[in-house]
Amino acid sequence: MITWIGIDDTDTYDKGCTTYVMYNMLKEFLKTRGEWRIINYPRLIRLNPNVPFKTRGNAAVSVGLNIDDPREALELAEWAVDAFSHKVGKTSPGIVVSTSNNEHWIYWKALTDVIPLNTAIRWMNKLGVIYKGGRGVIGALASVMADLNLDSTLELLAYSELTPKPSIPINLIKKLNDSTSPLTFENMDDEYVLIQPHGNDPVVFGIRGDSPHHIIHFASMLMSEIDVEPRWLIYLTNQATGHHVSSIVNKPYTIGYVEGSVNDVKLVEGGNIEVNVNSTPVFSYRHYGFKSIDKATYLIAYGGFKPGINNLDLYMEGGFALIIKGTVKNPKCPRCGSGLESTGRVGLLKCPKCGLITGLPKLMNYASEFLLEEPRGSEVRHLHKPIVRVGLEGLVKAFNRPSLWII
């Protein structure tokens, strides 16, 4: 029987990582059980990036195990959470155990909306899902119910508890990025390295991509250059799928969408920009690097909706800027070549020199630019779908799980 375990909210802002709890749990499981009992990859699921109480990237993990007794799954998860979580401050670990994982509506809701704890508990009681712990059960449940049928990506996370983190030669990252892109992505942004988190968590590096073979090649080359015991795990994820923008709820702390003519552009504190679109203030942070938003005459923007002074403010995450510059001129007189002038009557022009009255149309010069507003690599949110992934949707399913998915 397949039993699904979900875990969330096990870390503090500067310590730990829920994925490390999963890594250690699976290593423990594999000590006595065969690899075939682990269904596909464990899942690393990013949820609503706008929930106010997330620590960092609002991640929750889950895995399907082939075991006969769900109580065994609960015991295993409890052991891992006790041993590897950091229960300080607002951390509120939660574990769920479920024999079904196809209530996908829960995932879509958790991705695009805020779910009160008692609502999640009501759902779990109805569905016969076992749960234990605090607020983390919301994310844990959503991770179990994740819908990765149409699109998903992979991320290999390499772990070490060494501090400071071992440094990785940037030239090697560049070289591997060039040789594996686009089947790995978001490794670098110009000279800025994106694969190594800077916090106190146990992640040495993370390689994201659509092909497990390219990811493992990348990771094994890096491992051979740094002096840590090789330990890693590949996750199936909803990262870089854009799933969070698939449903627009237009409520506080959810993804919002605004489209319309730009009424006003203001420079605000710190060089950030406020653009007024159809009476909605759209804020674009300078460090996001949106290039054309201050010149936009028409804006299509999506991002996080937060309560503002009068209504909801949109904190832009991406979109399109349309820059329209139109000019209208009178043509020259076709008889004598001098400039035609208005007659005061619509559709008629006259020549001041030879007196010709003509219905010649005005000369329209219409220039427009349609520009994609993508955040800088260093500012990209986990769920944001990068351009390089367009056309690769569903590719992950083409590859079997390779033997080095966990070491």
Judged by CB under 6 A, does residue 59 bind ligand ATP? yes
**Interface with ligand ATP, residue 223, by CB under 6 A:** no
Least separation in angstroms between CB 258 and ligand ATP: 22
Q: Which two tokens stand for residue 343?
A: 């007659």
Q: Tell whether residue 202 is a contact of ligand ATP (CB under 6 A).
A: no
Nearer to ligand ATP, 174 or 306 (CB): 306
Question: Cα separation of 363 and 328, whole Å?
Answer: 6
List 9, 186, 210, 373, residue binding ligand ATP (CB under 6 A): 9
For position 8 contacting ligand ATP by CB under 6 A, the verdict is: yes
- Residue 115 makes contact with ligand ATP by CB under 6 A: yes
Instruction: Please tell me whether residue 110 binds ligand ATP under the rule CB under 6 A.
Output: yes
136 binds ligand ATP (CB under 6 A): yes
Q: How far apart are CA 332 and CA 340, in angstroms?
A: 5
147 near ligand ATP, judged by CB under 6 A: no
Tokens encoding 394: 């569903």
Among 3, 7, 18, 245, binds ligand ATP (CB under 6 A): 18
Nearer of residues 107 and 288 to ligand ATP, judged by Cβ: 107
Token pair, residue 89, equals: 């401050």
Residue with Cβ nearer ligand ATP (50 or 177): 50
51 touches ligand ATP (CB under 6 A): yes
Cα(305)–Cα(315) distance, rounded to whole angstroms?
6
In whole angstroms, the minimum distance from the beta carbon of 251 to ligand ATP comes to 12
| Residue (9 or 151) nearer to ligand ATP, CB | 9
Backbone region of residue 195 per phi and psi (left: phi > 0; alpha: psi in -120 to 50; beta: other values):
alpha
CB 62 within 8 A of CB 5: yes
What distance in Å separates the CA atoms of residue 138 and residue 118, rounded to the nearest whole number?
A: 9
> 320: number of CA atoms within 13 Å, CB side?
12
Q: What are phi and psi of 388, to 5 degrees?
A: -65, -15
Q: Give yes or no for residue 54 binding ligand ATP (CB under 6 A).
A: yes
Q: What's the gap between Cα 215 and its chain centre?
A: 19
Q: Is 53 an interacting residue with respect to ligand ATP (CB under 6 A)?
A: yes
Place of tokens 């819908």: 147
92 binds ligand ATP (CB under 6 A): yes
Q: Which is nearer to ligand ATP, 135 or 381 (CB)?
A: 135
Which secondary-structure segment (H or E) carries 66?
A: strand 59-66
d(CA 401, CA 407): 13
**CA nearest neighbour of 18 among 88, 89, 85, 94:** 85
For residues 386 and 383, give the distance between their C-alpha atoms in angstroms, rounded to a whole number. 9
Tokens found for residue 198: 């800077």
Among 133, 139, 202, 303, binds ligand ATP (CB under 6 A): 139
| Residues 6 and 96: beta-carbon distance below 8 Å | yes
Residue 200 interacts with ligand ATP (CB under 6 A)?
no
Q: Of 11-19, 28-36, 155-163, 334-342, which segment contacts ligand ATP by CB under 6 A?
A: 11-19
- Residue whose entry in the numeric block shows the structure tokens 């390089």: 388
Of 45, 47, 183, 321, the one binding ligand ATP by CB under 6 A: 47
Q: Please identify, using beta-carbon distances, which residue of 64 and 136 lies nearer to ligand ATP.
A: 136
| Residue number, nearest CB to ligand ATP | 139
Q: Strand locations in 240-311, DSSP E?
A: 255-268, 272-277, 280-284, 298-307
Task: Output Rg (C-alpha) for the chain, integer angstroms.
Answer: 27
Residue 48 interacting with ligand ATP (CB under 6 A): yes
Binding residues with ligand ATP: total (CB under 6 A):
25
Which CB sits closer to ligand ATP, 41 or 131? 131
- Shortest distance, position 156 Cβ to ligand ATP, whole Å: 17
Binding site for ligand ATP (CB under 6 A): 8-9, 11, 17-18, 47-48, 51, 53-59, 92, 94, 110, 113-115, 135-136, 138-139
